[in-house]
A and B are shown apart, each in its own frame.
Chain A
Amino acid sequence: MGALEDLLASGAPVAGPAPWPRVVLDAVGWTAIGEALAEGALSLAALWGEADAVHAALLDETAASLAVATLACPDGRFPSLGRRHAAAIRPERAIRDLFGLVAEAAPDARPWLDHGCWAARQPLGRALPQEPAAPYAFLPAEGEGLHRMAVGPVHAGIIEPGHFRFAVNGETVVRLETRLGYAHKGIEALMQGATIERAAGLAGRTSGDSTVAYALAFARAAEAALGVAVPARAHWLRALMAELERLANHFGDIGAICNDAGFALMLAHCAILRERVLRTADHCFGHRLMRDLVVPGGVALDLEAPAAASVRDLLAEIHRQFPRLIALYEGTASLQDRTCGTGIVAPGLARRFAAGGYVGRASGRDFDARRMPGYQPYGQLRFEVPVFERGDVDARVWVRIREVEQSLSLLAQILQAMPPGAIRVNLPPGGGEGMALVEGFRGDIFAWLSLDAAGRVRRCHLRDPSWFHWPLVEAAIEGNIVADFPLCNKSFNCSYSGHDL
């Protein structure tokens, strides 16, 4: 029996959640999760709270199954998973900040999202009056010749806010610690009590570069909760949008990574391709980022025949231009000198943190939510999941290059085989509980949604892939030079907003 089945058998199943089961465990069962995670028998897909309970979404990659475990916390405490499994530490800190539930024996008791600036503490739990915030205690780095560099939350470029605290010895980074939460907007609180439509809009504004992927994750969770079958054409249109989004972001990233190695030519050319993708999206669906187009029940707009032709033209243009850019990347020794061997994430670490997307796949973690657990229409499409082992900046670039090629192929297949028909169904009244795992360009996005009987959001949790990428940025930069930090960081391109919620 697999680790997940053992776990499921030890708990009390909850009726209703779809498409994956949820069981209520006792503290012993909850502690056993920590052991299974530490042994690598399970992967942590998400860890989140409610006012009086904690939930962990667990993935058994060998058995290709997913389940959620719940522990009631009537006295406001739960055994820490982070004690045994480092990937759980930050989610547990966030749970404490938002809900006031304390992870017992947690290795890190510092606040995470709460900077002492909100009107009240633990705003989603039993709210307490705010207290003057103690200065944030960064982790120590001691030794001769060390000094500290503080960067952010306002950065030099046009990027999101976050703070980086470096301890450096000369040019070498001894320790990097990130401090996030600056973009915390209280999305989960805004969702509580909201209509499905309003919550879908918020989901699509969780991380702007992944608006399609987030809207898709939320929509799939809502449809699972309500038992809605979406028309076939809607699935295909969603995949079309998702692959356009992936293309646009990968072009942006490939260019920006090279630019951070001082190679602006690549950025100039990749930015042209990115702009062409966005213009095509605009032409097809009336919005460059395709925001608010994936909706619970289907999609908001159909793809008309002339618009489909513009996607074909786009694919042809990319096929003409992109191979030259790959050759440019491969053939520029000074650029390769910067990307190869820089910012290595060891495969074992990527596995332990269940790193999704290009971060995991550049470090040997062969996981893609489009394939496992999989969702429509990808089962009817041919695609490969590129995996590299080296785990450096170069490998993360190559995953993106290969995924661009795969997305081009997927888009061609989608245009070829998209079925006709309706694009949207009305949602039935009522409530339920649903989940979804969707592959965004950055990695897998997990959504969990609980609707009350009136069809309003009781609770919703959206887990960005960056939750498990940010700690790896810290690991990857260790021993590298400060000048390579922008390069390393861009090769991860973690979301701040998606993480901070």
Chain B
Amino acid sequence: MRTLLFRSLIATPLSQPLPPGPEVALDTLATCLDGAARRRLGRSLAIRALDAGSCNGCELELNALSNAFYDLERFGLRFVASPRHADVLLVTGPVTANMREALARTYQAMPGPKWVVAAGACAIDGGAFAGSYAVLGGAAAGVPVDLRLPGCPPRPHELLRGLLALMDPPRRHDAGDPPGDRAAPRSA
């Protein structure tokens, strides 16, 4: 274990700046939150992820956000275990009839102000499962949605860019210089 830790200490970091995304898409993403909401959130965002019946593809990519390449905590983003600690409910999957109540209760358990992000094609409108007797539709079928992140599943950097748009007008990230890096420079 010592060798491995030592190697990690001298190795260059794997974390990468966020690649710039298409400008138009970012503008659309950012329109949902006004300045006051952004000031309330400050530089940090506590996210409660909720699978409302997805195929599990979106969860895999959400989990990838925590790996060394994306390292979402450097941006002030973190996943929390309880809805009572969350600013944002991040919903994946279509809302199944069997998950409707759990989704509503999770949303109710969150303190205000709160926002809902629908991540992935299914959470936007039910995706491939729209029209089924067992599916109510996208996340909006259960909770009010503030931000939609398309993809099947969305790539990790697309998820990151969307979540950052909640905190910050997106153009400021175009230089690929995340605020977290500026605030807390990495030390050896």
> In the bound complex, do residue A206 and residue B55 qualify as a contact, i.e. CB atoms below 8 Å apart?
yes
Mask: chain A, 203-242; 1 = CB below 8 Å from B; 0 = not: 0011111010000000000000000000000000000000
Count of chain A residues with Cβ under 8 Å from any Cβ of B? 52
Note all chain A residues with C-beta closer than 8 A to B60. 208-209, 252, 289
- Whether A62 sits at the interface, judged by CB under 8 Å, is no
> Nearest Cβ distance between residue A149 and chain B, in whole angstroms?
16
> In the bound complex, do residue A497 and residue B102 qualify as a contact, i.e. CB atoms below 8 Å apart?
no
> In the bound complex, do residue B55 and residue A497 qualify as a contact, i.e. CB atoms below 8 Å apart?
yes
> In the bound complex, do residue A495 and residue B56 qualify as a contact, i.e. CB atoms below 8 Å apart?
yes
> In the bound complex, do residue A117 and residue B100 qualify as a contact, i.e. CB atoms below 8 Å apart?
yes
> Nearest Cβ distance between residue B137 and chain A, in whole angstroms?
12
> In the bound complex, do residue B59 and residue A123 qualify as a contact, i.e. CB atoms below 8 Å apart?
no
- Which residue of the partner chain, among B50, B54, B82, contacts A183 with CB atoms under 8 Å? B54
- Report the bound CA distance from A495 to B55 in whole Å: 9
Note all chain B residues with C-beta closer than 8 A to A185. 53, 94, 96, 129, 132, 134-135
Count of chain B residues with Cβ under 8 Å from any Cβ of A? 50
Note all chain B residues with C-beta closer than 8 A to A291. 57, 152
Note all chain A residues with C-beta closer than 8 A to B133. 118-120, 123, 186, 189
Mask: chain B, 146-158; 1 = CB below 8 Å from A; 0 = not: 0000001101000
Mask: chain A, 143-169; 1 = CB below 8 Å from B; 0 = not: 000000000011011111100000000
Mask: chain A, 52-93; 1 = CB below 8 Å from B; 0 = not: 000000000000000000000000000000000000000000
> In the bound complex, do residue A265 and residue B53 qualify as a contact, i.e. CB atoms below 8 Å apart?
no
> In the bound complex, do residue B67 and residue A497 qualify as a contact, i.e. CB atoms below 8 Å apart?
no
- Report the bound CA distance from A156 to B82 in whole Å: 7
- Which residue of the partner chain, among B94, B102, B128, contacts A202 with CB atoms under 8 Å? B128
- A residues in contact (CB < 8 Å) with B: 115, 117-120, 123, 153-154, 156-161, 181-187, 189-190, 201-202, 205-209, 211, 252, 265, 268-269, 271-272, 274-275, 278, 288-289, 291, 324-325, 328, 331-332, 495-497, 500
Interface contacts (Cβ under 8 Å), in number, total 149
Closest to B55 in A: A208
Note all chain B residues with C-beta closer than 8 A to A181. 98
> Nearest Cβ distance between residue A319 and chain B, in whole angstroms?
16
> In the bound complex, do residue A184 and residue B96 qualify as a contact, i.e. CB atoms below 8 Å apart?
yes
> In the bound complex, do residue B98 and residue A115 qualify as a contact, i.e. CB atoms below 8 Å apart?
yes
Closest to A152 in B: B102
Known: A185-B129, A328-B4, A495-B56. A271 touches B99 (CB 8 A): no
> In the bound complex, do residue B51 and residue A159 qualify as a contact, i.e. CB atoms below 8 Å apart?
yes
Closest to A184 in B: B134
> Nearest Cβ distance between residue A410 and chain B, in whole angstroms?
22
Note all chain A residues with C-beta closer than 8 A to B12. none
> Nearest Cβ distance between residue B86 and chain A, in whole angstroms?
12
- Report the bound CA distance from A153 to B51 in whole Å: 9
> Nearest Cβ distance between residue A272 and chain B, in whole angstroms?
5
> In the bound complex, do residue A275 and residue B64 qualify as a contact, i.e. CB atoms below 8 Å apart?
yes
